[in-house]
Amino acid sequence: MPLPRTRLALALLSTLALAHAPTAHADDTAGKSHATPLAAVHVKANTDQGYRADSSQIDTFGSFGSAPLHDTPAAVSVITRDQIDDRQPRTLSELARSDAALGDNYAPVGYYQDIAIRGFVLDLATGYRLNDMTITGEQLTPLEDKQRVEILKGLGGLEADVVAPGGLINYVSKRPADVRSATVGTDSHGSRYAAVDIGGWLSPRFGVRVNAAHEDMHSYVEHASGRRNFLSLAADWKISPNATLQLDTDYQTSGQRSVSGYQLLGGTALPSHPSRTRMLGFEPWQQPVGIAASNTTVRFNYRLSDAWSAQLSAGHSRSRINDNVAFAYGCFFSPVCASGATPGYFFAPNGDYDVYDFRSPDDTRQNDEARAVLKGSFDTGTVSHEISLGASAFRRTLDQRPYVYDYVGTANISEANPPFFAPSPNQPGPSARTLTSWQHSLFALDRLHLGAHWQLLAGGRFVRLHERDYDSSGLLQRDTRLSKFLPQTALMWQPIAPLTAYLSFSKGLALGGQAPYWASNGGTTLAPLLSRQVEAGVKYDWGDALSLTAALYRIRQRYQFAQPDSTPEGFTFVQSGQEVHSGLELDAAGRVSPNLRLTASINLIRARAQNTGTPSYEGHQIVNVPRLRSAVYLDYRLPFAPQLSLLGGWRYAGTNPATPNGKISVPAYNVFDAGLRYDSQWHSHTLTWRLNVDNVFDHFYWRDTGSAYGDSYLFPGAPRLARLSLTVGF
């Protein structure tokens, strides 16, 4: 409790100080002249580019040296603040619609969500970042205080230690600026939303920015309404011309009932007549899932000389989850499955499913990270060097209580409301440390300029991983120690300034998966996996308004799956053979004409398992990886009414496999979105109205066939939803 109160007090003090900022600036001419140019630069960038970004934190502090996106030998896309404002996403799943390389993977309504990039599921422990520092993925990351969201597609290279090969999501905080705005909104289900964004420079050297939001969520799923409260503070201190300090901290609480997904009937058929609005397994005693999360990052930058600079950064992220659900899962207790002919970890062929009372309070996950980076440039003869040297330490802990997971009854998907079942009388046990993980690394990168048209990047990261798993009584169950060198290299060719072509190779290390409980080695965590990526790409800047990119990639990693065998359980979770993802990505972002802005992306991917020892699983597309995805979003300002803009979107996904043997897939879908934005003035205040309608034609589709802890689920896409908001600038 002291932590939230401290943050609240800091934010309130900052807000009070900002209320008097104009008077202070009026008395201090230097302060006024300092703040005005900063605001002008910020507005110019948003106005001229909007949906296009030139750089990212990943380029500035991470794997690729201090280079703009155009000179980065990797596929990096940026969701700008303009895009976030225009589309009004609230969740990670809604945000992921922006890029065709992204897709949902177990993203229930009312619960923290996960996504996949290039067909590989992000690790919740290491795949998400705030200001380039790792945060816990088990939270509902707010967007009110984010200036942009950066997506690194493919291996993290020097950017990360142990991370899944799909890529990274990096949230970038808003910086202090002269801002006074408030937003109110609602939707077609009656939700209520309010947010404020207040910032300014209290002196020529010190600025702050406060964002706060409150939301009463009325979900399209029955019984799944909820609420959230959010507060953040950003501060910049220009200590001297050579030294700056940046602080960002936030705190959010949320509560909402979690919605269970469907499962295949008997493991062989899609559910008939599924409902998007019904909560499977709902019981009146089911409590909301409560999540309290805080994130803090600190960055100190020091310019040693014109050619050399250093950065020290640290991050702290903590998520505390009170997990409660009347969970719809399997059919072990259904009479239809009693013979054992139907696997108990699917719904029954007739639609029966078991309901479990699941309670796991005080599930606390904490990430702590520190990093030091030295950057500089020098020449050796005709070759120019830009080097980055650094070291990092990352610690992750998990504290849990022995949970309650007890069967309470069996229901059927055809029932509008399941029968009432009494909750389990059992209670969770005392909290104990169940995981401690350390990652230490040293990394180096040299960007060599070989004449006017060629560049060579060469570097690597040496990683040491030490993880320990404990049972509920504190006994050590697993002790993993591993050291690896992960190289990264790329060759770049720039025949003309707007065009860059590259070829890159990198290795990565990912955490091993956990076996599902119904396998012979249920609960066992497998060894970390080595991944490899080869990528070739082309980037072209059409003037300074539109960016076009193409990337051809191939990623390989050991295939993790439940392998059928002769054990009593019938399966053993193994790493066998290779999982190979080969794909082509095409992206465009920016301004096509003075009145038309767009983002567009296409991802064509072939994801297969090879040499697994299970022939029936080979030669088929990997589960939850459609062969083709596309996403297009447009913003067209009417020439005869420049205050009014038409917004539109189209999302497509091909047939999506639901079983590893390729026998069951969900159908392809097209979803269309539409919207309006209207800009006006009222008594010298700017007013911006936004109306968005997602899934205009109310099309039913399965958006997700992903898995969690080895079990597969099916989640329907959201029905038609309209959101209306008004933003007032003061």
* pLDDT for 47: 38
* pLDDT for 39: 39
Burial 273-308 (b: 16+ CB within 10 A, else e): ebbbebbbbbbeebbbbbbbbbbbbbbbbeeeeeee
Q: Which residue has the higher pLDDT, 709 or 224?
A: 224
pLDDT at 714 over 70: yes
DSSP 618-661: TTSBPTT--SEEEEEEEEEE-TT-TTEEEEEEEEEE--EE-STT
What share of the chain in percent tops pLDDT 70?
Answer: 92
**Which residue, chain included where needed, has tokens 């060629």?**
454
Q: Which residue has the higher pLDDT, 108 or 6?
A: 108
Contacts of 180 (CB under 8 A, 6+ apart): 197, 198, 199, 729, 730
Once rounded to an integer, what is the mean pLDDT over residues 4-29?
Answer: 38
- pLDDT band of residue 93 (cuts 50, 70, 90) is very high
pLDDT at 13 over 50: no
Cβ–Cβ < 8 Å for 291, 321:
yes
* pLDDT for 56: 75
Phi, psi torsion values for 189, nearest 5 degrees: -100, 0
What is the Cα–Cα distance from 387 to 565, expressed in whole angstroms? 51
Once rounded to an integer, what is the mean pLDDT over residues 128-148?
Answer: 96
Per-residue pLDDT reduced to its tens digit, 448-484: 999 999 999 999 999 999 999 998 788 998 999 999 9
* pLDDT for 68: 83
Q: What is the CATH number of the domain that holds 537?
A: 2.40.170.20
pLDDT at 282 over 80: yes
Q: Output DSSP code: residue 516.
A: P
Count of C-beta atoms within a 10 Å radius of residue 540: 16
Query: Residues in the chain, how many?
Result: 730
Per-residue pLDDT reduced to its tens digit, 490-543: 999 999 999 999 999 999 999 999 999 899 999 889 999 999 999 999 999 998
pLDDT at 59 over 80: no
* HSE-up of residue 363 (Cα within 13 Å, Cβ side): 19
What is the Cα–Cα distance from 489 to 157, expressed in whole angstroms? 9
Per-residue pLDDT reduced to its tens digit, 230-248: 999 999 999 999 999 999 9
Range of the domain at 227: 2-729
Count of C-beta atoms within a 10 Å radius of residue 334: 21
- pLDDT band of residue 23 (cuts 50, 70, 90) is very low
Per-residue pLDDT reduced to its tens digit, 305-342: 999 999 999 999 999 999 999 999 999 999 999 888 88
Per-residue pLDDT reduced to its tens digit, 339-369: 888 899 999 999 999 999 999 999 999 999 9
Per-residue pLDDT reduced to its tens digit, 561-578: 999 999 999 999 999 999
pLDDT at 373 over 90: yes
Give the residue among 174, 138, 167, 164 at the shortest CA–CA distance from 62: 167
* pLDDT for 49: 53
- How much is the pTM? 0.91
Q: Which residues, in sequence order, are bridge partners of residue 360? A: 323
* pLDDT for 66: 60
Give the residue among 469, 431, 430, 145 at the shortest CA–CA distance from 294: 145
Provide the number of structural domains found in the chain: 1
Both tokens of 448, joined, read 């060599």
* pLDDT for 665: 97
**Of 47-51, 163-167, 660-664, which gets the smallest average pLDDT?**
47-51
What is the Cα–Cα distance from 124 to 111, expressed in whole angstroms? 13
